[in-house]
Structure 1
Amino acid sequence: MRNIYGAGLLEIRFAFYRYAFDYTLSLSEKLNEITVILKQLKTEKTLN
């Protein structure tokens, strides 16, 4: 019984870490997209 409980906690912890990792990854991807868009806007302003 004790082992099952410990394994369940481990699984929950790994799922949480995976979720947090995916979240930070998508967050950084969004930030990269935003910076690219801002750079494009800057270059368009300098051209005009």
Structure 2
Amino acid sequence: MTQVDFYILPETSEEARLTFACRLAGKAVQRELGVFVLAESETDA
């Protein structure tokens, strides 16, 4: 079954959001889970 999680971050800066997203995606990849990243550009993704 597909699982979707939402997070409320203590910091709202772009750098903090991107750092969190990268760490979270890295953990999912290590666990061999599917990862879908929606970003403004391929460079951002």
TM-score range (shorter-chain normalised) is: 0.3 to 0.5
Give the TM-score, by structure 1 length.
0.41
- Asked which structure has the greater RCO (Cα within 8 Å, sep 6+), the reply is 2
Q: Indicate the structure with greater helix content.
A: 1
